[in-house]
Amino acid sequence: MNADGWLEDTRASYDTVAASYADQVRKLLEETPDERAVLALFADLVHTSGGGPVADVGCGPGRITAHLRELGVDAFGIDLSPGMIEVARRDHPGLRFEVGSMTDLDLADGSMAGLIAWYSLIHVPDDEIGSVFSHFQRVLRPGGPLLLSFHVGDESQLKTQGYGGHPMKVYVHRRRPCQMTAWLNEAGFTVEAGRTLSSAESTLGGILLARRRPGPP
């Protein structure tokens, strides 16, 4: 699986399902109090570290971006799918959303007070994760918090249909928290907290909170 291939498949798939996906996930945070608590903790960490811009990478229809804004965070969204960005701008007028890829973040070095990737790493192949985390490390300020959520497991499955029955072509990768932690350590992050949970988001989801270490990885 080459980089261009999986990126193109992911973009096309989410362009196709953008509206249906937004309808299905719009109210999920109302059903996930534990996840709301994690997002509130992340917001507090951003505030106590001095505040500043926070990128919601792989923002989809923008619901997490909007929730962080309600918590007083200067959050904006980035997504690979132009269709998702169109829906995000429609549903959350006045907030900032832009098309971009986590494999090549168009953000200045050290410019972000925080980063969040909320179930948005699930289609990234293993051999691309290190590059993605290197971009996260590059754009975050030293000490800046990084919040990740992901599906827990060992297998990868091809998803050919979803969200309203529309066709998709994406691999869904499930990972162990210990593997994610190892990748983060290699990229220059220190994992400070982690947990697994079952919710409307995931049958078994993992959440890791890390900080960018000072200096190079």
74 vs 168, more confident: 74
Model confidence at 16, pLDDT cuts 50, 70, 90, reads very high
Average pLDDT over residues 76-89: 98
At 25, which amino acid appears?
Answer: V
What are the tens digits of pLDDT across the range 126-159?
999 999 999 999 999 999 999 999 999 999 999 8
Residues 6+ apart with CB under 8 A from 181: 191, 194, 208
Q: Does position 89 have pLDDT exceeding 80, yes or no? A: yes
Q: Does position 3 have pLDDT exceeding 60, yes or no? A: no
Q: Does position 2 have pLDDT exceeding 60, yes or no? A: no
Q: What is the mean pLDDT of the chain?
A: 93
Q: What is the pLDDT of residue 217?
A: 81
CB atoms within 10 A of CB 170: 20
DSSP track, 185-215 = HHHTEEEEEEEEE-SSS-SSEEEEEEEEPSS
Q: 31, 25, 214, 211: which is closest to 118 by C-alpha?
A: 25
- Which residue shows structure tokens 């890791």? 208
Residues 172, 174, 177, 181, CA torsion sign: negative
Q: 195, 209, 211, 210: which is closest to 34 by C-alpha?
A: 195
Q: What is the pLDDT of residue 4?
A: 61
Q: Does position 1 have pLDDT exceeding 50, yes or no? A: no
Residues 6+ apart with CB under 8 A from 72: 43, 47
215 burial level (CB within 10 Å; 0-12, 13-18, 19+): exposed
Q: 176, 210, 206, 181: which is closest to 193 by C-alpha?
A: 210
Q: What is the pLDDT of residue 199?
A: 74
Top CATH class, 3-211? alpha beta
202 vs 64, more confident: 64
Lowest mean pLDDT among 15-19, 113-117, 144-148: 15-19
Work out the end-to-end distance of the chain between its first and last CA atoms, rounded to an integer number of angstroms. 27
> pTM (2 decimals)?
0.94
Q: Does position 200 have pLDDT exceeding 50, yes or no? A: yes
Q: At CA 53, angle to CA 64 and CA 125, rounded to 5?
A: 60
